[in-house]
Copies of this chain bind each other. A is one copy, B any other.
Amino acid sequence: TIDGLRLNEDIAFTSRFGATPRGGIRRLALSAEDRLVRDWLAAQGAALGCSLAVDTMGSQFLRLEGSDPTLPPLMMGSHLDTQPTGGRYDGIYGVLGGLAVLRAFRAAGYVPRHAIELANWTNEEGARFAPAMTASGVFSGVFTLEQAYGLADRDGVRLGDALQAIGYKGDEPCGAHPLAAYFELHIEQGPVLENEGKTIGVVTGVQGMRWFDVTLIGQEAHAGTTPMELRRDALLAAGRLMVLAADVAAAHGPDAKTTIGIIDASPGSRNVVPGEVRMTLDLRHPDDAVIDRMEADFRTQAGEIARRAGIELLIEESWGSPSVPFDPACIGMVRDAAAKAGLSHRDIISGAGHDAAYMARICPTAMIFIPCRDGLSHNEAEYAEPDDIVAGANVLMRAIMAADEH
């Protein structure tokens, strides 16, 4: 069984690497803090007698050998990077929950048939380097290594150079070995489980998501002398697009989500009408056809707003991930594990992207969710109950054992 105390202690302990004053974590991918938590994870694996591999994308793989070396390994995993003002659970729980499973197997002297690997994927959040889920994307063949190395953060630092800088450019080729299955444990990051009082979410898939870079070009002008009707105010037009984005979500039902997370207006002076705005747009829906319609609606109406405002508008898709159905057999193993553990559960679709969404392309995959307080994530106040933490890890352990017997 899972050592629940130890697991919760690990979560508290690792929150020190990049701790923020408000109780969250700032541990951007490939930062100094990311390096420290990676070193810590490697040491834990070594103490358990696991071997460690680091691939060319910097992902870490702790490995417990199985009794049958002819079988492909079973993999658990998630990520240790965070948002700029992230919480203590998003991703971290999945890695430390997997570590708890390895510890439980070791403590019980249990030797599975398959080798069991635990992955810590590089740059899942997409906060420092966009797009998200970069390393699992390379592992599963969605991106090339060259594409990933070439991604630049907002200071112009390339992912490949950042990997080198923290000493985590490994030599294991990405995605070199076949896998029997992949399971990822995570907080829900939304309000559904909490609202319904369920402990376990049996994740059946991940909704579709699409990212855009939006550029508006107007004309810089004097704030005191330029009549309103002669202005080509890029920020005012951007404001109209913010309202439009919310309207587009409303028009496509309760599952539609639109977010503008980053905005930059230049020249950035109080008495200058902004001449240029760059912002991001994130569109999501479980049904890709609805995302297509959301995008089309946004493009049409945004084009109309820009035309009327004399603004040049560019909407460029920077990344997209179609909706992903997980593997029915793996989903069944998670559902059975929750039932056998006597935990309340329900099927759920993930609103967030996860490394599991890419892993599903190359092996049977499923995920396990637990509730988080107020459905809050990507927030320093992110919180999950210690009992739920332990319950989720138990389900992960049982699902792995079921897959091992499969």
Which residues from chain B contact A239 at a C-beta distance below 8 Å?
238-243, 260
Say whether, besides A222-B189, A236-B246, A126 and B270 are in contact (CB < 8 Å).
yes
Pick the most buried of A127, A235, A256, A271: most chain B CB atoms within 10 A of its CB.
Answer: A271
For the complex formed, measure the closest distance between the CB of A227 and the CB atoms of chain B, giving whole angstroms. 6
CB closest chain-B residue, reference A260: B235
Complex Cα spacing A284 to B236, Å: 17
Is A60 an interface residue, CB under 8 A from the partner? Answer: no
- Segment 170-225 of A: residues with Cβ below 8 Å from B: 188-191, 207, 209, 211, 219-225
For the complex formed, measure the closest distance between the CB of A221 and the CB atoms of chain B, giving whole angstroms. 6
Say yes or no: B257 contacts A261, CB within 8 Å.
no
Complex Cα spacing A188 to B226, Å: 10
Say yes or no: B243 contacts A271, CB within 8 Å.
no
Which residues from chain B contact A34 at a C-beta distance below 8 Å?
none
CB closest chain-B residue, reference A258: B228
Say yes or no: B378 contacts A272, CB within 8 Å.
yes
Complex Cα spacing A267 to B376, Å: 15
Complex Cα spacing A268 to B165, Å: 24
Which residues from chain B contact A126 at a C-beta distance below 8 Å?
270-271
For the complex formed, measure the closest distance between the CB of A205 and the CB atoms of chain B, giving whole angstroms. 13
Pick the most buried of A130, A227, A256, A375: most chain B CB atoms within 10 A of its CB.
Answer: A227
Interface string of A253-284 (1 = CB under 8 A from B): 01011111111011111111111000010101
Which residues from chain B contact A399 at a C-beta distance below 8 Å?
none
Say yes or no: A257 contacts B224, CB within 8 Å.
yes
Which residues from chain B contact A127 at a C-beta distance below 8 Å?
269-272
Say yes or no: A274 contacts B261, CB within 8 Å.
yes
Which residues from chain B contact A189 at a C-beta distance below 8 Å?
222, 224-225
For the complex formed, measure the closest distance between the CB of A259 and the CB atoms of chain B, giving whole angstroms. 4
Say yes or no: A262 contacts B265, CB within 8 Å.
yes
Which residues from chain B contact A269 at a C-beta distance below 8 Å?
83-84, 125, 127, 261-262, 378
Is A352 an interface residue, CB under 8 A from the partner? Answer: yes
For the complex formed, measure the closest distance between the CB of A233 and the CB atoms of chain B, giving whole angstroms. 8
Is A400 an interface residue, CB under 8 A from the partner? Answer: no
Which residues from chain B contact A267 at a C-beta distance below 8 Å?
83-85
Is A132 an interface residue, CB under 8 A from the partner? Answer: yes
Say whether, besides A235-B242, A236-B243, A267-B83, A223 and B262 are in contact (CB < 8 Å).
no
Say yes or no: A351 contacts B225, CB within 8 Å.
yes
Q: Which residues of A contact B (CB under 8 A)?
A: 83-85, 125-127, 130, 132, 188-191, 207, 209, 211, 219-230, 233, 235-236, 238-243, 245-246, 249-250, 254, 256-263, 265-275, 280, 282, 284, 350-353, 375-380
The 3 closest A-B pairs by CB, nearest first: A239-B242, A190-B225, A225-B351
